[in-house]
Structure 1
């Protein structure tokens, strides 16, 4: 497909010559972070402000050209790249819209543009002694806040602060017809009808393009203690979490779960990573306490761990930032280690926390019976019931055949256990292209009808991010 000359010139008139890429120059923006999807767009456009986004959307709507909103392009489900096929599509990449517009330390808010890299939003409020807590791992250096909000991203701090949805007070959105909705309110209470911003959070760009947001800030912790814990099994980890919450309350801000298969991949593929204990253990937990009070937390954490019981094999506690970071490096590099190893069949699922161990046990047994020798890489945010549960074969040649022949069967096995345990097949990565059809088996007909009704009301031409979500 090639873009019509008059449309190309109109785009250039809006954003400038350096704001439009076509052909070979545009190709990298059509490939997703995992390398699973690689499709062509007519052009990639880089607006510099909200008005330019509006003008580009109006041009696309007038010419019936579909729009793929894109931030850092770190979607793990193909949500931020063009759809395969003959549909004419333009990628609107928001990376140039990267200003922090305002920080209000008294109101504990900051107003930011969608193209701000997530890592930059950790540093911005620090000068005001404030914290933005959205804590992603593998993609944090690359992802952008607009994409995080569009997928309702989670991360390691959801246990205490909630998902991206919980961190937003207001949004600015360009609608599918190009109109700009200014909902950049910084109110904690606003009971004047429907909470419209929630429509766009988690919608993956199918209802409009988030261009800016008012985000919640929090006090910066003054005291932190971290523990690396070897546990007997996933059931012991679930029980340990409940024990820590009863004894440490809301000072727990992370509780991450790691299986031996994850550690083996990290040690193989990530330099300067090491076993945290002298003995290799099958299951690890990394947890952290944080408080605004300066009183040390390590003694309280040790006491809570010592009082737990036989489910803990051994543990270490530290208040030293470098020591803690060495443990966190094991967790944060699992996705990168997997990527270097090759493709796998990924599942980003959630179940009630009390049923996490049940899910891992039952799904793993079924997969090992169906596919002898399968490698199961299970890890994630046990504190909110979100487990990343990925499968592959250790041998590269065998894995290629496994992926080609058995992906649907693997998904079916995993998702049936998720449904049985009243969970969700998409916890924090969204649906994108990958799960768009799959979700129809796990949502009720009424839920799907309501979702499609909202889509058709806001985007009657169906131009916003086609082939994703609904």
Structure 2
């Protein structure tokens, strides 16, 4: 531990007590590795404030001393965005003790939650008031509000409600000089210049430390139903989605996957069953909901809207869940895809990418063909959130495999995929962020964008102390 770090740790302990500091290597170790186990760092201490004022004091003192800080919530980043540098030059600033839900306002349909509130706990708290926060993802039992905002998280309900950016109504944060930005008032109109709230969303902790947020709520779901469809192609899936959206605004999820990925789940995940009897090149999961008993119920809605599409041959076959247990079973298949593919097909480069929605079917086919041509023996395919233009595009090692395939050829494969995405007017990060993993690729493919991001960073964090080594 360097002298400035020792000084900061000593000050924090004196101000807030022993609970505010972790220095035992065994206590620190779990927070030094990212969610996927690909990035490893070092930190001499974890600082654990419990209030916004404590965060402000720590950040201000760190700025005075020149100590870099890595804000961290649930440590669920998929791109190494919350992992400290490997040289031990930064301390971890954990927001996990800031886990209070300050307010649930039924009239305004808003909740004010601190940065360390775990997403699942937020769901349960507002659910007790017959409300819901409509963002969910696989890491909901660990991911925290601050991290979800800092990465502009997506998930499976983006189709109807948008990503985290669309669900945030205000932010409280500590800026790099230790000043507190209070944006929790929920003003409908505020024309005082640049929006600090919007700058902080998706900034991955590089512009400040989010301490709390005012979030939008919606009425709790009265009922839901899932349709599982057999389809011929991604284009057929998009045609089905557009037909449904033209008739209703109650479709919340639309996920597609190839038959081979479904087969991987069926062979690897115990107690899973194929939703449909036949085999189809592509499958889709569609979720519809109702907020009241007076609305047309989701099962009837899906039956009515899908029947003519089946008659036209656009949908080859379909089944609609008849119970909540069956709906959960369908979602379990979708949520198990990555695990099952890893176990069944071996190493793969994984790409969280987006292109314009209308271009996605063609991109999926053309990009797979381009990659397989450039790297003979590999196999490429995608699954995910078609309606958002966000697909998880995986390139499997195939006959080019081997224990070192990811290290040997993975970077070259990813560069090609990212080139194809960029040429299609897309993004190399749809919902996971840039972190450490994609920083160099972002600079290669979007130098002007990175130059502008660096200018903003320099203005707000001139000492470059907030989450060093991430994003830019």
Distance in 2, matches of 1:375 and 1:14, equals 56
Listed as ranges, the gaps of 5+ residues in structure 2 are: none
CA contact (8 A) 2:364 2:381 kept: no
Alpha-carbon displacement from aligned partner over 1:353-402 (angstroms, at most 9, x marks no partner): 1111111101111222233332435211111111111223268x934322
Match of 1:285 in 2: 284
Contact 1:54 1:174 in 2 (8 A): yes
Matching residue of 1:57 = 59
Aligned CA distance change for structure 1 residues 66 and 291 (closer, same or farther; 3 Å):
same
Q: Please state how far the C-alpha of 1:272 moved relative to its aligned partner.
A: 2.6
Task: State the Cα RMSD in Å.
Answer: 2.0
Q: Distance in 2 between matches of 1:15 and 1:270?
A: 47
Structure 1 SS opposite 2:401:
helix
CA gap 1:21/1:440 in 2 versus in 1, 3 angstroms: same
How does the TM-score come out when normalised to structure 2? 0.93
What residue number does 1:306 align with? 307
How many Å separate the matches in 1 of 2:451 and 2:258? 39
Mean Cα deviation higher: 12-21 or 299-308: 12-21
Note the 1:401-412 alignment, pairs <5 A.
401-412=404-415
CA contact (8 A) 1:109 1:186 kept: no
Contact 2:347–2:405 (8 Å) recurs in 1: no
Match of residue 332 from structure 2? 329
- Partner residue of 2:120? 119
- Matching residue of 1:455: 457
Q: What secondary structure is seen at the aligned counterpart in 2 of 1:275?
A: coil
Q: 2:20 matched to which residue of 1?
A: 19
Point out the more displaced range, 338-347 or 106-115.
Answer: 338-347
Equivalence for 2:382? 378
Alpha-carbon spacing, 1:402–1:253, altered in 2? closer, same or farther (3 Å):
same
Q: Which moved more, 1:418-427 or 1:182-191?
A: 182-191
Q: Please give the alpha-carbon distance, in whole angstroms, between the structure 2 residues aligned to 1:347 and 1:465.
A: 23
Counterpart check, 1:165 vs 2:165: yes
After superposition, the Cα gap between the structure-2 partners of 1:90 and 1:451, relative to the gap in structure 1 and judged at 3 Å, is: same
Aligned residue in 2 for 1:79? 81
TM-score scaled by length of structure 1: 0.94
* Distance in structure 2 (CA, Å) of the matches to 1:221 and 1:291: 6
Aligned length: 465
- Displacement of 1:343 in angstroms is 5.7
2: CA distance, partners of 1:53 / 1:316: 51
Describe the superposition over 1:86-136 as per-residue Cα deviations: whole angstroms up to 9, x where unpaired: 361011111111111000010000000000111111111122221110121
Is the 8 Å Cα contact of residues 101 and 113 (structure 1) preserved in structure 2? yes
Q: Are residues 1:358 and 2:362 paired? A: yes
The DSSP-based 3-state class of the residue aligned with 1:437 is helix
Change (3 A) 1:32 1:261: farther
Alpha-carbon shift at residue 9 of structure 1 (Å) = 2.0
Note closer, same or farther for the CA distance 1:193–1:319 as it changes in structure 2 (3 Å cut): farther
Q: Deviations over 1:164-217 (max 9, x none)?
A: 000011111011111111111223333343322000000000000100000001
Question: Does the Cα contact within 8 Å between 1:347 and 1:425 map onto a contact in 2?
Answer: yes
> Structure 1 residue 83: deviation in Å?
2.3
